[in-house]
Chains A and B, each alone.
Chain A
Amino acid sequence: MSGGPASTTAARREVVLGLRSVSKRFGRVVACDDVSLDIGAGEIRGLLGQNGAGKSTLMKIVAGFVRPESGELTIHGKTLGFGDPVVAAERGIAMVHQHFSLVGPMPVWKNVTLSDRGHTRVDRSGVSRQITEVGRRYGLDVDPDAIVDDLSVGERQRVELLKCLRRQPDVLILDEPTSVLTREESTALFRVLRRLARERGQSVVLISHELDEMLEVTDRVTVLRDGRVVSTVESAEASADSLAHEMLGQDFAVSAEVLGLSVEGSHASRARTHAPPRRRAAPAGHDVPVLELADIKVTSAEGHALLDGVNLEIAAGEILGVAGVAGNGQEELTGLLSNLIGPDSGEVRVEGRPIRTGRGRQLGRAGVGVIPADRHDSGCVLEMTVAENLALGSLDGMVRWGVVRQQQLHELGRRLVADFRIITSSLGAPLRSLSGGNQQRVVLARELARKPCVLVAAEPTQGLDIGARGYIWDRLREAAATGTGILLISSDLAEIMALSHRVAVINRGRIIGTMPRADVDTAELGRMMGARTHDRG
């Protein structure tokens, strides 16, 4: 691809960590494709890319958690074998994972010593002194005797950092360290990182998809896309625009087309994926939006705003794509429309009528269907039969005197199994006995068979192969064509671009912009997704 490490500063630095032609695939998915990287001493390097671009996999390879098919890894010029985290740690590679690995009920000092090897006895006061000392030196103040459960997220991250720094690593890898932090905590973390780089000559690799912080803290940024290195640039010379462009690719239509073409043997779907779908004009008199969210607020038990005044409108027959980095409120949005959580304030209106969510049957009866991101969570019941799963939530029409009429249950099952080509031994087989793709079809079939006026599709093709993906896209387009308003929540931009009529961007629990598909500027979209917009306010 384009670009390359043509930097002069790199040449001056001693190379601490070197990767040569590293490739890794998971089944048919290529996670890393011939990646080479050099990280210098005292350098803070950013790894930028979308979800699934291969950033985390690459760094897990470095830290020994994942073994690649081919390639070479060197530390200070000496080759290091793959696939052994203990050896990698001994050779000076430390990694702070996105999800912390701390034992909540234990004090800080115990957590710090947990992964120590070869000790029969832990010197508590020595460890505590060390924690205080290292903490003071780098501005990572934590009370060694505090219980981890009582610490804030930012403090827990400091404990993770202390765990690593105590061993004086040569390379410190941080995977999405700021995704759980407040702005202040992030700034404090960056200050620590710069100090480490300057005073210790610490090499740091920072994985992120937030453009601003990349520019703020790193010396250089390597952009990954689909497992390949797209470019490596000096942060001082880069702009958010240029990074967004490289992260997202030149042209969404092209990537969508590639996916569409891979759908086996369907000319119709091939033709349709080229152009953004046309929206069928809403029938006259139906200009009330099928779904409206008015100033929805949802707060976590700890008091964080998960949805912070969300406003959305979907017209009949419209597909509204909600783009955003995972963890910015998408889960709560789906939960709200899945009847799992009720809003703290604000109103959900379906076809103009206010609907109570979080309990009761109103949402389902109003005609809101949901394909949840994790079908096992609320989408199906694995131990119940295929027929029962297909009827879940739509028993209303097949009950007489409280008795579910078996004939109707089986008729619905037979029809949907045939229509959606669900492969199963029988209607009475437990859903667990179906393959993942067929389980997803059961969920899709059930939700679409109800002819919902609103369909929420959260990551509807996550984890599915390209054939299944094209099939589900086609079904969603058909549903929209018959007047269903679809809320497509996806972290996959290609999916958003291929299906949506309009695109909304969600960031930290807020919709920070909505634009027609035709007006989508990729760079702008990337910037909005990565921005920390509401910290301004």
Chain B
Amino acid sequence: MTAAEASPPRPAAAVAVRPPRLPLSDYLRVGALLAISIAAAIGCAALLLSVTGSSPATVFGAMVSGSFGSRVALTATLNHTGPILLVALGALAATRSGLLNIGQEGQISIGALFGVAVGLAVDAPRGITLLLILATAAVAGAIWASLASLLRFTRGGSEVITTLLLNFVGFQVVSFAVNRPWLLQEDLPEGSVLSASPQSNPLPPAGHLPTLAQGPGFRLNSSITLAVGLALVLAFLLARTRWGFELRTVGLNPRAARRSGVSPALVGSGALAISGALAGLAGGVLLTGTAFRVNDGFSNNYGWEGLLAALVAGSVTLAVIPSSLLFGALRAGSGVLAATGVSPTIVGAVQALVVIAVTLPLLYLNRRRLRALLQRTGVSRT
């Protein structure tokens, strides 16, 4: 032992920086698994469709052409992918710090609600109005999520439960606001005989997201560029910064984090706030990109789909981009499908089968990490 220490320091190049790559056979195995599971899913879906009296070929054709088949379809896919990706990024920030935020639906709604309130109230130039709306939506989402961290880090209440339940509170707040004429309910022209509907007034054009491409029947908004940009930023922050390093430490071993001077409560509540901010921003993007007004049921499952996209992506941060794209495409495809008269229940089932088929092989790869993550959710108190 001491002999080695007496000798001059060794040239420090003995150990490689990167771990050896997985053998090619592992990738082939995952590829094969992917092919098999997609085939199985298509088989199951075909069976389900023919039993319920639809033609599988028509349905699959509609799904593909409805998501990638034309410029209109592609635009729909990308316009859905933007907010889903934003939600997924937020979910990822929380899970990396060992917390499971499942309150995105509520955070989207609250973000959009405050966003539309600001957008209708201010009268400013285009860029400023839009920025104000998006910033307000993000802050509102962050505050909504922070209610859960308050409960968790002062009272020890599981954030899984509180974020979930805050969804329903959020829905009620939105519903309350758009049903009150003195709050956000739509104004009707003087002398109108129609009764007002439970939705807000539309945003002025100054509060609309910029358009990337436009044509007959489609308008591609810039949510996808914003979301992809933020994905790159978040991936860098998590992998390379002190903040990301400490956040991952807290998520994987809170005691080791405390030992190295990092406060799990501080880092965790920060991550939950960011998570809520990104979901709120997704609400703002939906508002300013496609919906332009807020109504009951505004979040419309974007929150759940984003959360799923994050879980599918697992441990590789940038994998949220393709997984969100998958969810965006499914959303666009099933929109078209529903228009062909197939029951929405069946559409949902087909959609779920495709997700399972794509996810299973990835889960196989990520199984260990996911297990570690689930063990932490809600159980480990700090």
Bound CA span A372–B253, Å: 14
CB-CB under 8 A from B245, the residues of chain A are: 388, 395, 404
Assess whether B155 is interfacial by the CB under 8 Å rule: no
Q: A339 touching B2 by the CB < 8 A rule? A: no
A374, chain B: closest CB distance, angstroms: 10
Which of A73-81, A133-141, A416-424 lines the interface with chain B? Answer: A416-424
Assess whether A359 is interfacial by the CB under 8 Å rule: yes
Bound CA span A372–B256, Å: 10
8 Å CB contact of B253 from A339, A381, A428: A381
Assess whether A301 is interfacial by the CB under 8 Å rule: no
CB within 8 Å of A: which B1-34 residues: 1-5, 9-10, 12-20
Assess whether B263 is interfacial by the CB under 8 Å rule: yes
> Which residue of B has the minimal Cβ distance to A429?
B19
CB-CB under 8 A from B19, the residues of chain A are: 385, 425-426, 428-430
A247, chain B: closest CB distance, angstroms: 32
Which of A7-15, A18-26, A33-41, A361-369 lines the interface with chain B? Answer: A361-369
Q: B258 touching A378 by the CB < 8 A rule? A: yes
Contact with A along B239-253 (1 / 0, CB 8 A): 011110100110011
Bound CA span A411–B17, Å: 10
CB-CB under 8 A from A530, the residues of chain B are: none
Which of A114-122, A262-270, A515-523 lines the interface with chain B? Answer: A262-270
A246, chain B: closest CB distance, angstroms: 34
Given contacts A266-B3, A381-B253, A395-B245, contact A427 B15 (CB under 8 A): yes
Q: A378 touching B2 by the CB < 8 A rule? A: no
Q: A361 touching B15 by the CB < 8 A rule? A: no
Contact with B along A344-388 (1 / 0, CB 8 A): 000000000000000111111100001010000111111111011
Assess whether A284 is interfacial by the CB under 8 Å rule: no
Size band of the interface chain A makes with B: 35 or more
Bound CA span A424–B15, Å: 8
CB-CB under 8 A from A103, the residues of chain B are: none
Given contacts A415-B12, A426-B17, contact A403 B240 (CB under 8 A): yes
8 Å CB contact of A339 from B9, B14, B16, B261: B261
CB within 8 Å of B: which A388-444 residues: 388, 392-393, 395, 399, 402-404, 406, 410-411, 413-415, 417-419, 421, 424-430
> Which residue of A has the minimal Cβ distance to B2?
A268
Q: B248 touching A339 by the CB < 8 A rule? A: no
Q: A370 touching B259 by the CB < 8 A rule? A: yes
Bound CA span A418–B240, Å: 24
Bound CA span A453–B248, Å: 28
Bound CA span A189–B44, Å: 66
8 Å CB contact of A359 from B4, B10, B241, B263: B263
8 Å CB contact of A421 from B4, B18, B255, B262: B4
B373, chain A: closest CB distance, angstroms: 10
> Which residue of A has the minimal Cβ distance to B253?
A381
Q: A364 touching B16 by the CB < 8 A rule? A: no
Bound CA span A385–B241, Å: 15
Q: A384 touching B248 by the CB < 8 A rule? A: yes
A141, chain B: closest CB distance, angstroms: 36
Total number of B residues with any Cβ neighbor in A under 8 Å: 35
B292, chain A: closest CB distance, angstroms: 37
Q: A263 touching B252 by the CB < 8 A rule? A: no
Q: B10 touching A425 by the CB < 8 A rule? A: no
Q: B2 touching A417 by the CB < 8 A rule? A: no
CB-CB under 8 A from B259, the residues of chain A are: 338-340, 364, 370, 372, 378-379, 393
Q: A417 touching B14 by the CB < 8 A rule? A: yes
8 Å CB contact of A417 from B1, B9, B15: B15
* Best-buried of B15, B19, B245 by chain A (most CB within 10 Å): B15
Bound CA span A385–B17, Å: 10
Assess whether B372 is interfacial by the CB under 8 Å rule: yes
Assess whether B58 is interfacial by the CB under 8 Å rule: no
Assess whether A49 is interfacial by the CB under 8 Å rule: no
Assess whether B381 is interfacial by the CB under 8 Å rule: no
8 Å CB contact of A404 from B12, B242, B255: B242
Q: B16 touching A418 by the CB < 8 A rule? A: no
Given contacts A269-B1, A413-B15, contact A392 B258 (CB under 8 A): no
CB-CB under 8 A from B3, the residues of chain A are: 266
Q: B15 touching A414 by the CB < 8 A rule? A: yes
CB-CB under 8 A from A252, the residues of chain B are: none
Tell me the total A-B contact number using a CB cutoff of 8 A.
122
Q: A382 touching B1 by the CB < 8 A rule? A: no
Given contacts A268-B2, A428-B17, A428-B18, contact A340 B255 (CB under 8 A): yes
Assess whether B369 is interfacial by the CB under 8 Å rule: yes
* Best-buried of B17, B249, B256 by chain A (most CB within 10 Å): B256
Assess whether B260 is interfacial by the CB under 8 Å rule: yes
Q: B242 touching A411 by the CB < 8 A rule? A: no
A301, chain B: closest CB distance, angstroms: 12
Bound CA span A387–B17, Å: 8
> Which residue of B has the minimal Cβ distance to A341?
B258
Bound CA span A428–B13, Å: 14
CB-CB under 8 A from B13, the residues of chain A are: 414
CB-CB under 8 A from B15, the residues of chain A are: 413-414, 417-418, 424, 426-427
B143, chain A: closest CB distance, angstroms: 24
CB-CB under 8 A from B252, the residues of chain A are: 381-384
Contact with A along B146-166 (1 / 0, CB 8 A): 000000000000000000000
8 Å CB contact of B241 from A339, A340, A382, A402: A402
CB-CB under 8 A from A380, the residues of chain B are: 253, 256
CB-CB under 8 A from B372, the residues of chain A are: 383
Given contacts A268-B2, A392-B256, contact A425 B12 (CB under 8 A): no
Bound CA span A365–B256, Å: 15
8 Å CB contact of A383 from B5, B12, B20, B369: B369
Q: A360 touching B261 by the CB < 8 A rule? A: yes
Given contacts A402-B242, A403-B240, contact A340 B260 (CB under 8 A): no
Q: A426 touching B14 by the CB < 8 A rule? A: no
CB-CB under 8 A from A424, the residues of chain B are: 15
CB-CB under 8 A from B2, the residues of chain A are: 266, 268-269, 474
CB-CB under 8 A from B256, the residues of chain A are: 377-381, 392
Q: B1 touching A363 by the CB < 8 A rule? A: no
Bound CA span A138–B10, Å: 70
Q: B10 touching A418 by the CB < 8 A rule? A: yes
CB-CB under 8 A from A426, the residues of chain B are: 15-20
Q: A425 touching B20 by the CB < 8 A rule? A: yes
> Which residue of B has the minimal Cβ distance to A471?
B1
Assess whether A324 is interfacial by the CB under 8 Å rule: no
Bound CA span A268–B1, Å: 9
8 Å CB contact of B240 from A364, A387, A406, A415: A406
Given contacts A269-B1, A404-B240, contact A392 B14 (CB under 8 A): no
Bound CA span A159–B76, Å: 67
A-B pairs with the 9 shortest C-beta distances? A393-B260, A361-B261, A378-B255, A426-B16, A414-B12, A268-B2, A378-B259, A429-B19, A381-B253
13 A-B pairs (CB sep. < 8 Å) = A268-B1, A339-B258, A364-B259, A378-B258, A379-B259, A388-B245, A393-B259, A393-B261, A404-B241, A404-B245, A411-B12, A414-B12, A418-B12
Interface residues of A (CB under 8 A from B): 263, 266, 268-269, 338-340, 359-365, 370, 372, 377-385, 387-388, 392-393, 395, 399, 402-404, 406, 410-411, 413-415, 417-419, 421, 424-430, 470-471, 474, 478
New A-B contacts (16) at CB < 8 Å, excluding given A372-B259, A378-B256, A418-B12: A263-B1, A266-B2, A340-B258, A365-B261, A377-B256, A378-B259, A380-B256, A381-B248, A393-B259, A402-B241, A403-B240, A404-B242, A414-B14, A426-B19, A427-B18, A428-B19
